Amino acid sequence: MSIPVIQTNAGREGWEAIVSDPSTAVISTDFDGVLSPLVEDPARSRPVEGALDALARLARSVNQVAIVTGRPALVATELSGVSGHPGLGSLVVLGHYGLERWDAATGKVTSEPVPEGVTKARDRLPGLLREVGVPDAFVEDKDSSLAVHTRRLEDPAGALELLRAPLTALAQETGLRLEPGNLVLELRPPGIDKGVALRRLIESTGARSILYAGDDLGDLAAYRAIQAQRDNGLRGVLLATRSSNATELIEAADIVVDDPSGVVTVLTALSDAISAR
């Protein structure tokens, strides 16, 4: 399989670093919109055909394979089907933006305490949604954060704008942060994001190179963490899908694909290049 179009010199350097020394490389991806297509009901997310096999093939050569997601670690583990998958015995799932970690080797989850502000926001949300006039907005309770989705509503974009100001105020009152996404606004503890999770993963593995695949604005923090460490010698490949049409993420990426099937193509090309070397 041929090498995908890599748009930047930094991306080409990152690709070559992974191929030439896979034992010091980390392969990390988001789940929704990257391994799995975006769906109206988050509980129905499933990986596209070939996604887990592509990760498993890379896992034979690289230092670490990880899924980094805003979902609870066990939820992501169940939906992705990684538990017990041949070849993914060393995979880790960093859930809740790194507040939780599931290790395939042990099947156990380790976690940090959930801030009190999340409980306060959880109690306030139903009344707030009624007051704003969007009581049917779907609230995805992730235990350590709360995501308000408008995708199922008649006017998703309009509902999102109606919610932005009151949810911003609620975040301020509860000491949380409001993070926008594709037809979603998420109330999240401060200092917790995919960038923090990725930095910890890089430090714990001693990675010299990394590929990270994302699709939405929440993945920008992961991109920025990699970009910041490029000055310190880390080589990285930033892969984006167009699943969420996150313009800022797409513009920052080294490789852009249309959807999760494109991610499988890139991961397969990377494992082919490693095998050929």
Residue 207's CATH number:
3.40.50.1000
On whether both 25 and 140 belong to a single domain, the answer is no
CB 146 within 8 Å of CB 187: yes
CATH of the domain at 121: 3.30.70
| Enclosing domain of residue 24 | 9-113+192-276
Q: What does the angle CA 76 – CA 81 – CA 84 come to, to the nearest 5 degrees?
A: 120
The mean pLDDT of 191-198, rounded to a whole number, is 90
Per-residue confidence (pLDDT) for residue 190, from 0 to 100? 86
- The rounded distance, in Å, linking the Cα atoms of 145 and 72 is 9
How many domains, the chain?
Answer: 2
CB 75 within 8 Å of CB 100: no
On whether both 109 and 128 belong to a single domain, the answer is no
- The rounded distance, in Å, linking the Cα atoms of 183 and 257 is 21
On whether both 96 and 107 belong to a single domain, the answer is yes
The mean pLDDT of 77-86, rounded to a whole number, is 93
Is 89 among the domain residues?
A: yes
pTM: 0.83
Place of tokens 């949300």: 125
- Asked if pLDDT for residue 51 goes beyond 90, the answer is yes
The mean pLDDT of 240-253, rounded to a whole number, is 95
Is 184 among the domain residues?
A: yes
Containing 188, the helix (H) or strand (E) segment is: strand 184-188
Phi, psi of 265, rounded to the nearest 5 degrees: -60, -45
CA dihedral 157, 161, 167, 168 (to 10 degrees): 130
- The rounded distance, in Å, linking the Cα atoms of 145 and 29 is 20
Per-residue confidence (pLDDT) for residue 144, from 0 to 100? 83
Per-residue confidence (pLDDT) for residue 114, from 0 to 100? 81
pLDDT in tens, 149-159: 998 899 999 99
pLDDT in tens, 88-108: 999 999 998 898 999 999 999
Asked which of 1-5, 165-169, 214-218 is least confident by mean pLDDT, the reply is 1-5
What DSSP string describes 112-145? PPPPHHHHHHHHHHHHHHHHHT-TT-EEEE-SS-
Is 1 among the domain residues?
A: no
On whether both 255 and 207 belong to a single domain, the answer is yes
On whether both 60 and 72 belong to a single domain, the answer is yes
Q: What tokens does 205 get?
A: 């593995």
On whether both 107 and 223 belong to a single domain, the answer is yes
Confidence band of 1 (pLDDT split at 50, 70, 90): low
- Asked if pLDDT for residue 115 goes beyond 90, the answer is no
On whether both 211 and 239 belong to a single domain, the answer is yes
Q: Spell out the alpha helix ranges (H) of 44-83.
A: 51-59, 73-80
On whether both 70 and 151 belong to a single domain, the answer is no
Mean pLDDT across the chain: 94
CB 66 within 8 Å of CB 105: no
On whether both 151 and 25 belong to a single domain, the answer is no
What type of residue sits at position 152?
Answer: R
On whether both 53 and 137 belong to a single domain, the answer is no
Q: Could you tell me how many residues make up the chain?
A: 277
Is 62 among the domain residues?
A: yes
Number of H-type helices and E-type strands within the chain = 9, 12
On whether both 95 and 161 belong to a single domain, the answer is no
Q: What tokens does 55 get?
A: 């990760």
Half-sphere exposure of 267 (CA within 13 A, CB side): 33
Is 2 among the domain residues?
A: no
Q: Spell out the alpha helix ranges (H) of the chain.
A: 9-20, 51-59, 73-80, 116-132, 156-174, 194-205, 220-230, 247-252, 260-276
- Asked if pLDDT for residue 191 goes beyond 90, the answer is no
On whether both 94 and 20 belong to a single domain, the answer is yes
